[in-house]
Amino acid sequence: MSRAYAGKNIVVGVTGSIAAFKVAGWVSTLAKAEAQVSVVMTSAAQKFVTPLTFSSLSGTQTHTGMFDNESDEWMAHINLGREADLVIIAPASAETIARLAHGMSSDLLSTTVLATRAPIYICPAMNTRMFEHPATRENIAKLAGYGYQVIEPGVGMMACKEEGQGRLPEWEDVDEIFQRALTVHDLAGKKILVTAGPTREPIDPARFLSNRSSGKMGFSLAKAAFRRGAEVTLVAGPANLSTPVGVQRVNVQTAREMHDAVMKYADAADIVIKSAAVADYRAKSVYGEKVKKEKIGESLELERNPDILLELGKRKKKGQLLIGFAAESTRLEEEGKRKLEAKNLDMIAVNNINSDSTGFEVDSNQLLLITHESSEKLPFASKDRTADLLLNKVLELMQ
Ligand code: C5P
> Which pLDDT belongs to residue 369?
98
Is 160 marked active-site?
Answer: yes
Greater confidence (230 vs 78) lies with: 230
Residue 130 CA to residue 69 CA, distance in Å, equals 34
Per-residue confidence band for 69, with pLDDT thresholds at 50, 70 and 90: low
Q: How far apart are CA 181 and CA 228, in angstroms?
A: 9
pLDDT tens for 158-199 read: 888 888 999 999 999 999 999 999 999 999 999 999 999 999
Tabulate helix, strand, coil % of the chain (nearest 5): 35, 25, 40
Angle at 208 between CA 206 and CA 210, to 5 degrees: 145
**Same topology between domain 9-182 and domain 191-283+300-398:** yes
- Nearest protein CA to atom 5 of ligand 1, as residue: 326
Nearest CA to ligand 1 atom 16: 307
Burial group, residue 214, by CB count within 10 angstroms (0-12, 13-18, 19+) = buried
Of the residues 141, 155, 160, 188, which is catalytic? 160
Report whether pLDDT(326) > 80.
yes
**Among 178, 157, 196, 164, CA closest to 245:** 178
Q: Where are the alpha helices (DSSP H) in the chain?
A: 20-32, 45-48, 51-58, 76-83, 94-101, 108-115, 128-132, 134-145, 171-182, 216-227, 255-266, 293-296, 308-314, 332-342, 383-398
| Closest protein CA for atom 6 of ligand 1 | 326
Pocket test for ligand 1, best of 211, 263, 275, 278 (most atoms within 8 A of CB): 278
Measured between alpha carbons, how far is 142 from 174 in angstroms, rounded to an integer? Answer: 22
Pocket test for ligand 1, best of 221, 271, 282, 307 (most atoms within 8 A of CB): 307
**Domain definitions of the chain by residue range:** 9-182, 191-283+300-398
For 135-163, the three-class secondary structure string (H helix, E strand, C coil) is: HHHHHHHHHHHCCCEECCCEEEECCCCCE
Q: Name residue 359's amino acid.
A: G
User: What are the pocket residues of ligand 1 if the criterion is a CB atom closer than 6 Å to any ligand atom?
Assistant: 195, 255, 274, 276, 278, 280, 305, 307-309, 324-326, 339
pTM, entire model: 0.89
CA of 280 to the centre of ligand 1 (A): 8
| CA-nearest residue, atom 17 of ligand 1 | 307
- What are the Cα distances from residue 384, in Å, to 7, 35, 127, 333, 396? 19, 19, 37, 23, 19
- Report the SS3 class of residue 271: strand
Task: Quote the CA–CA distance of 366 and 384 in Å, as a whole number.
Answer: 12
Sign of the CA dihedral with 104 first, then 26, 223, and 157 last: negative
Distance 297 CA to ligand 1 centre (A): 29
* Closest residue by Cα to residue 278 from 299, 300, 253: 253
Residue 226's pLDDT band (cuts 50, 70, 90): very high
Q: How far apart are CA 52 and CA 124, in angstroms?
A: 23
Return mean pLDDT, the chain: 94
Topology of domain 191-283+300-398 in CATH is: Rossmann fold (3.40.50)
Give 277's DSSP letter.
B
Q: How big is the chain, counted in residues?
A: 399
- DSSP per-residue letters across 173-199: HHHHHHHHHHS--TTTT-EEEEEESB-
Q: How would residue 18 be classed by pLDDT, with cut points 50, 70 and 90? A: very high
The SS3 call for residue 231 is: strand
For 325, phi then psi, to 5°, come to -120, 155
Q: What is the pLDDT of residues 274-308, one digit of tens each?
A: 999 999 999 999 999 999 888 878 889 999 999 99
* Mode of pairing for the β-strands spanning 367-371 and 375-377: antiparallel
Q: Work out the average pLDDT over 306-318.
A: 97
CB 89 within 8 A of CB 123: yes
Residue 298, pLDDT score: 84
CATH of region 9-182, choose from 3.40.50.300, 3.40.50.1950, 3.40.640.10, 3.40.50.720? 3.40.50.1950
Could you give the percent of the chain with pLDDT greater than 70? 97
Q: How confident is the model over 154-158, as a mean pLDDT?
A: 89
Closest C-alpha to ligand 1, atom 9: 325
Per-residue model confidence as pLDDT tens digits over 89-122 = 999 999 999 999 999 999 999 999 999 999 999 9
- Distance (Å) from CA 102 to ligand 1 centroid: 56
